[in-house]
Every structure is written in structure tokens, then in C-alpha cells.
Amino acid sequence: MLGIEHPIVQGGMQWVARAELVAAVSNAGALGVLTALTQPSPEDLRREILRVREMTDRPFGVNLTFLPTLKPVPYVEYRDAIIESGVKIVETAGNNPHEHMPALKAAGVRVIHKCTTPRHARKAQDIGVDIVSIDGFECAGHVGENDIPGLILIPATVAQVSIPVIASGGFGDARGLVAALALGAEGINMGTRFMCTQESPVHPAIKEAITRSSETDTRLILRSLRNTSRVWRNGLSGQVVSLEKEGAGIDQIGPLVAGAKGRGVYESGDVEGGIWTVGMIQGLIDDVPTCGDLVRRIVDQAHALVSGRLASLTLSGTE
């Protein structure tokens, strides 16, 4: 359906999924996904799409995330920039993309919708989405409000929809890929793992922080606003959680979680300088490979796992 070689997708990442990373992932035979809203305007997005095309002739997608923002976002203009640029794969997230479906479908775009519950997956299928990407509680960023870990969420979703399911949240290696396939998914989506690669545009100090962090070094913020997000465990995210416990509102919390501050972290490498998004999978990440090496390693080790350890279990079971 997506024209890719390996069943691996790089999820949209605000400030991170720029042309260099997207092209590197697609050149590795997986699906790179550009993040529309990282570009300040629809015109900038058109230029960024051209930059991806200069670096790869493989399929890639664009992520369009609908989230509550203080300043209104011209979503229709971003969508039209994607369509008019001839991009044929769009990943939507954050909210139901129903009002954009007719235009996307008319342009022959395959829509992957990312959500966090089987109920939302069913709804996505009902409005004509082609593929659902189901994000478990382990994931980086918006975990939703139902806290369903992948081990339950993936098979529950597969059981409730007939369209293909991509498993997302907590994936970073071959073991995860094989497990996702065993749970009924067609492939995996990874954010944090691709953020920690050579081609990822974040400061080396951020990559280094990911390699030394454990699975306990994330925190959930903004639960009190029903906009729960998994981020790195630093002083600032702790401060946000304390403020939430005291009943603070968006006026007090807003300035601490401002997007521009998070962006600054990726550029400066100052891990304490702002709120930044990362998933629990960081506990299993201990290197900074190229995207090509990463995808090759995952695919090779997945083949070895299936034909080695898992096959031997089947054999011993029948002897």
C-alpha cells in the first residue's frame, strides 16, 4: 500500500522530522514522514517537500497534527500544500481528520491516522482512513487519556478494524518488530528511535541524553488539561506536574510548555532548558546509528529471530 521495502514508519516529530531525516529513512527502505507544522507556513512546507525530493526518489509522507493551539493554524492551506506538491501519503494525528478526508481521497492520498484507542481506530476506519497507526501508552508525546499499553492495545485494535494496523509506541529494535507482527500489526512506527540517529537534526547532547536515560526517565505532563504528553524527566517537567497538582491552569502552565522552548532544547542541547518529547523506549537505546544501519539491523535481526529462536521453539514443540 505504501510502496516501501520494510514495514517500518518514522512518525511525524515536531522540530525533528525535517527533510534530512525523512529522506534518510526513506532511502533506508522505510517510510520517512515530514512534519508539516515544523514549517512556519504552507509555503515553507512546499519548499521542504522539494528538499526531500532532492534527497530521495523513494516514497515519503507528511504528518498533519491537529492539536489545541493558542494561535489558529491554517490547516486547509497546509493540507493543500501537501496535495498540490503531489505527496501521496499523509499521517494525521491529534484529532479526527474527517473534514480533510474528501480532499485527500480525491487526490489519491493514502491516509494513515494515528490514535490511542480501539474506539478511535474504528471511527478512523468509518471515515475512510486507509491505515491506522495505534500509539501505546509507552509512546513519546501524546499518549491519550486511556493509558492502554501496546501489548493490549495492538491486538485489541487489530480485532476491531479490518484496515491494516501499524503498531506504535515503544518500538526500537527487531524484538519489537517481531512482537508487533505477532500481535497482528503489519509493521511498526518509531519516533524516539529515529530521533536518536545520525541524520536526526537534534543536538548531539540530546542524542547522548537518550542513550544514557532509562525507561523511568520520562514524565506525563498536562494530564490535568486532558492533553497528556510523555516528555523527558527534567526539572521543568517536574515543575509542570507540581503546578498541575496545585490546580494551576493553562495561563500558568502555558509559558513553561511553550513549543518554542522545546525547540530551543533540540538546537542548543541544553536538556534542562525546556520540555522535550521522548518515549520510554529510550531505556533500550544505547547508540546513534545512521538510519540505513538502523533499519538494516532491525530487519536482519528480525529475520534471524523468526528463523532462529522462534522457529526452534516450534520444532521442539512438535518433537
Residues that bind ligand FMN (CB under 6 A): 11-14, 16, 35, 63, 65, 93, 114, 135, 138-141, 168-171, 189-193, 195, 277-279, 281
Contact status, residue 157 vs residue 132, Cβ threshold 8 Å = yes
Residue 51 CB, nearest approach to ligand FMN (Å) = 19
Q: Least distance (Å) from ligand FMN to the CB of residue 56?
A: 19
- Of the two residues 224 and 282, which places its CB atom closer to ligand FMN in the complex? 282
Closest approach of ligand FMN to the CB of residue 97, in Å: 11
**Residue nearest ligand FMN, Cβ-based:** 191
Nearest to ligand FMN of 74, 249 (CB atom): 74
> 229-232 and 141-142: which strand pairing?
antiparallel
Q: Is 218 exposed, middle or buried (0-12, 13-18, 19+ CB in 10 A)?
A: buried
- 279: exposed, middle or buried (Cβ count in 10 Å: 0-12, 13-18, 19+): buried
Considering the complex, what minimum distance in angstroms separates the CB of residue 193 from ligand FMN? 6
* Shortest separation between residue 318's beta carbon and ligand FMN, angstroms: 36
Q: CB 182 → ligand FMN: shortest distance, Å? A: 18
Q: Are strands 229-232 and 218-221 parallel, antiparallel or unpaired?
A: antiparallel
Q: Which is nearer to ligand FMN, 151 or 248 (CB)?
A: 151
What DSSP assignment string belongs to 208-277? HHHHH--TT-EEEE-GGGT--EEEE-SHHHHHHHHHHHTT--HHHHHHHH-HHHHHHHHHH--TTSS--B
Q: Cα–Cα distance between 177 and 172 in angstroms, integer?
A: 8
- List of residues 6+ apart from 41 with CB closer than 8 A: none
To ligand FMN, the closest distance from the beta carbon of 319 in angstroms equals: 38
Q: Are 131 and 111 in contact (CB under 8 A)?
A: yes
With respect to ligand FMN, which residue has the nearer C-beta, 32 or 279? 279
Alpha helices in the chain (DSSP H): 19-27, 42-55, 75-84, 101-106, 118-126, 150-160, 174-182, 192-195, 204-212, 235-245, 250-257, 259-268, 291-305, 311-318
Q: Which is nearer to ligand FMN, 233 or 248 (CB)?
A: 233
Q: Which CB sits closer to ligand FMN, 95 or 248?
A: 95
**Which cell numbers in the block locate residue 13?**
516529530
Give me the least distance between CB of 27 and ligand FMN, in Å please: 19
Q: Given the complex with ligand FMN, which of 111 and 140 has the nearer CB atom? A: 140
Residue nearer to ligand FMN on the CB measure, 217 or 248: 217
Contact 29, 5 (CB under 8 A): yes
